[in-house]
A and B are shown apart, each in its own frame.
Chain A
Amino acid sequence: MLTVFLQFLFSGLTVGSVYALVGMGFNIIYNATSIINLAQGEFVVVGGLMMWFFSDSLHLPFIVSICLTILSAGLVGLLMERLTIRPLKSHDLLLMIMVTISVSIVLRGILAFKFGKDPYDYPAFSEGDPLNIGGAIIQQQTLWVIGITGLCIILLYLFYNKTIIGKAMRACAVDTTAAQLVGINVSRMVMISFVLSAMVGAIGGIAITPISLMEYDNGPMLAVKGFCAAIMGGLGRGRGAVIGGFSIGILESMTAGYLHSGLKDAVALVILLLVLFLKPAGILGSSAAARLRKF
C-alpha cells in the first residue's frame, strides 16, 4: 500500500515540477510589470523544440545546445517586448494582457510552420534505469527537473535581492512612477523581465521534454497549469509558484489514484478555488500586498 502511495507521490512530483517551472516564469514578468504574460507557455515550447533542433537535428554538443536554446528564447522574449509591448501607446494592463494572447497565437503558428504537428523528444540528461525507492520508481529526469527548478529559485532570489537590477525591477512593480522618479529606466527593466522570463520558460521546456514530449500546441495547457500554480502560491512570489506547482501536481495524482483519473483536473481546480476563497493572496502571499495589486 505504501508503495502505491509513494508511486502516486512521485508521479505528482513529476507533473508538479513542470507546473512549478512555468509558474515561476509568470512571476518574473508580473513582478516587473504587473502583466500576466499568457504567452509564457509558448516560451516553454520554444525551449523544448529549439533544444531538439540544436541537439538532435544539428547534432551540436549538449551544453552548446542548451546555451543556444536559452539565448534564442531570450531573443524571442526581447523581440516580443520590443515589437508588441513597447510600441503600445496606452498603458492599460488589460490591453497588454490581450497583446500577450495574440503573441501566443502568432508564436504557435510560427512553431507549427517550422516544426509541423508532430511531437518531439530527445534523450534524458542522464542515462540509466529509473530509481527504485521503496518499491516505487522515479525517473532520473524528474530529479533533474526538480534540481533545475531549485537552482532557478536560488538564482532568481539572488538576482532580486542582491543585484541592483533585480532591486530596480522590484521597484518598478511596486510603483512605476516612483521608480522613474528615482532614476530607474523602467522600459529597460520591462525588457529585461521579458528576456529573463523567456529564458526561465525555455529552461523548463528543455528539462521536461524528455518526460512529456513537446508539441507546437502544448503552450496553452502549460500556461493554464503554470498560472494556477502561480496563483495558488501567491502571484509574484517565486517560491510560491513552486509550492503551488507541486501541490497541484500531487493533488492531481492523488485524485487520479484514490478517486478517479477522470476527476483529477476538476479536483485540482476546486482546491485552487478553495485556497483563493480562504486566502485570496495565495499560500505565501501577504494580504496587505494583495490589496495593492493592480491584478
Chain B
Amino acid sequence: MKRTILCAAFFLSIFIFASSLVAPCTAAEPYRIGAVFSVTGAASFLGEPEKNSAILLQDQINKAGGVNGHPLEVIIEDSKSDETQAVLSAKKLLERDKVLAIIGPSTTGESMALVPILNVAKTPMISCATGAGITQPVNERHWIFKVAQYDFSVAEALFAHMKKHGISKVGILTITTGFGDAGRKALHDMAPKYGITIVADERYGPKDSDMTTQLTKVKAIGAQAVINWSVGPGQVVVTKNWYALKMGIPLYQSHGWGSKKNIELAGKAAEGVISPLGRLVVWDKLSDKQQQKSLLKKFTSDYEARFKNEPGTFGGHAYDSLTMIVEALRKVGPDKNKIRDYIETRIKKWPGTGGIFNMSPQDHCGLDKDAFEMVVVKNADWALTK
C-alpha cells in the first residue's frame, strides 16, 4: 500500500514537473526583435536611454496582450560603442536568435558597419543614429532605415533661424569626436545655401575644461553669432565661458543641448541660448493641436515614472524605431520582406517622437528641418521661439 502511494506520488510529481515545462509552449511563439545599443562605452549617453525606452515599450505592449496575441521579445545587445562589437552582436541576433528586425545601433559608425550585414541577411534595420550615409544612397540601402533627424537638417534649422534674424557671419565650435565631425561637415555643406559665411572654425576636445580661447578668437574675427556643436559637459563649459566673456553675440547650440541637465549645470549662463530641438523635450510647450503632443506626453511621463530620468531625444529614437516595427508586425505579420515594404510605403504622416515621418522609396528617414522647434532658454526653462 505504502509503495503504491509512493509510486503514485512519484509519477504525479513527474507529471506536474513535465507539464510545467510544456505549459509555456502552448502560448503563441514570441516575435523576436533585436536591438544593438551602445549601453556602455563612449556613446553610453545614447545607448542607456535607448535601452530603457525599448524595455519600457516591450513591457507595455506585452501587458496589453502582445502583438496579435504573440508576446514581443526585444533582445538587447550591448555594442560597447564599438563597431566590431556591433557587428558581432548583429550576427548573434540574426543567426542564433533569428530576429525579424533590428533596431539601432546608436552611433553612425556602428550603423555603417551593419549596413552590409543586414543587406546580406535581408533583414530590416532601423538605425537610431544621425549620419546621412546610413540611408543614402538609398538604392544600396534597401533594408536600412533611420529615425534620427539628419545632421544637415539641424544645420538647416540653425541657418534658417539666423537668416531670419539678419545674421550672415558665424563662428563655429565643434567637438573633436564623430558627433562634432559630422556636425562640422553639415554646417560647412549647408552654409552657402543660406548665404552664411563661416568666419571661424574652432575645435575642442571632449574633456577640455576651458573654451575661452576659441570664443575670444570668434569674437575678435567679427562673427555675428556662435554655433557650438557637441554633446556632454563641453556644451556647458562653452555656455559658461560665453556668458563670462559677455560676448554680445547670440550662442546657438546643436540638438545635443536638449537636456534639462544642461540648463541646471550652466545656471544663469544658459539664459538666451538658442537651439533646434526635437519636440520631445518641449512637448508641454506645444499647442494641443500638434499631432505629436499626446504621444510625447505619454512616453515622457511613463519613462520618467519608471526610470526617474528624462528619456531625451535619444530615448525617443528607440521608441520610434520599435513602434514602427511593431506596427508593421501587426499589419503584415512576421515576414521580413513585408515588414520592410510596409515601413517604406505606409509610414506616411506618421507622428513619432522625432517628428512627423514620411518614409518613401527615395527617403528612408522621412524627416526634414521641420522636425525641429527653435527653442530658447528662458527663466531656466525651454521656451519656443520663431
Contacts and interface: CB of A to CB of B under 8 A. Distances in A.
B45 interface: yes
A139 interface: yes
B302 interface: no
Interface stretch (A58-66, A113-121, A233-241, A272-280): A113-121
Given A137-B244, A137-B245, A213-B236, A8 B214 contact: no
A14 B233 contact: no
Contacts of B237: 211-213
Contacts of B44: 117
Nearest to A209: B209
A163 to B, nearest CB: 34
B213 A253 contact: yes
Interface residues of B, number: 27
B210 interface: yes
Interface stretch (A25-33, A72-80, A166-174, A254-262): A254-262
A10 interface: yes
B363 interface: no
B233 A4 contact: no
Contacts of A208: 209
Contacts of B220: 4
B261 interface: yes
B168 interface: no
Contacts of A211: 209-210, 237
Given A4-B220, A130-B244, A261-B203, A119 B212 contact: no
Contacts of B261: 118-119
A11 B212 contact: yes
Given A119-B232, A256-B214, A14 B265 contact: no
A221 interface: yes
Interface in B207-251: 207-210, 212-214, 216-217, 220, 232-233, 236-237, 244-246
Contacts of B207: 218, 221-222
Contact of B213 (A119, A218, A256): A256
A213 B339 CA distance: 46
Contacts of A253: 210, 213
B209 A18 contact: yes
Interface residues of A, number: 32
A291 to B, nearest CB: 35
B176 interface: yes
Given A121-B265, A130-B244, A261 B233 contact: no
B269 to A, nearest CB: 11
A117 B231 CA distance: 13
B205 interface: yes
Contact of A257 (B208, B213, B244): B213
Contacts of B205: 221, 265
Contact of A11 (B176, B213, B233): B213
Nearest to B232: A119
B156 to A, nearest CB: 25
Contacts of B48: 117
A81 interface: no
Interface in A1-22: 4, 7-8, 10-12, 14-15, 18
Contacts of A261: 202-204, 213-214, 217
Nearest to A12: B213
Contacts of B210: 11, 14-15, 211-212, 253
A4 B265 CA distance: 27
B202 A212 contact: no
A42 interface: no
Given A119-B232, A213-B236, A213-B237, A257 B209 contact: no
A10 B215 CA distance: 13
Contacts of A10: 212
A110 B201 CA distance: 38
A121 B202 CA distance: 25
Given A257-B216, A261-B203, A119 B236 contact: yes
Nearest to A14: B210
Nearest to B246: A137
Interface string A116-142: 011111000000001000000101000
A11 B219 CA distance: 15
A261 to B, nearest CB: 4
B202 A14 contact: no
A14 B209 contact: yes
Interface string A229-269: 00000000000000000000000010011001110010000
5 nearest interchain CB pairs?
Answer: A212-B209, A119-B233, A11-B212, A213-B233, A221-B207
Interface of B: 44-45, 48, 176, 202-205, 207-210, 212-214, 216-217, 220, 232-233, 236-237, 244-246, 261, 265
Given A211-B237, A261-B217, 8 more contacts: A8-B216, A11-B216, A14-B209, A15-B209, A119-B233, A211-B210, A261-B202, A261-B214
11 contacts: A11-B210, A18-B209, A119-B232, A130-B244, A137-B244, A212-B233, A212-B237, A213-B237, A256-B202, A261-B203, A262-B203
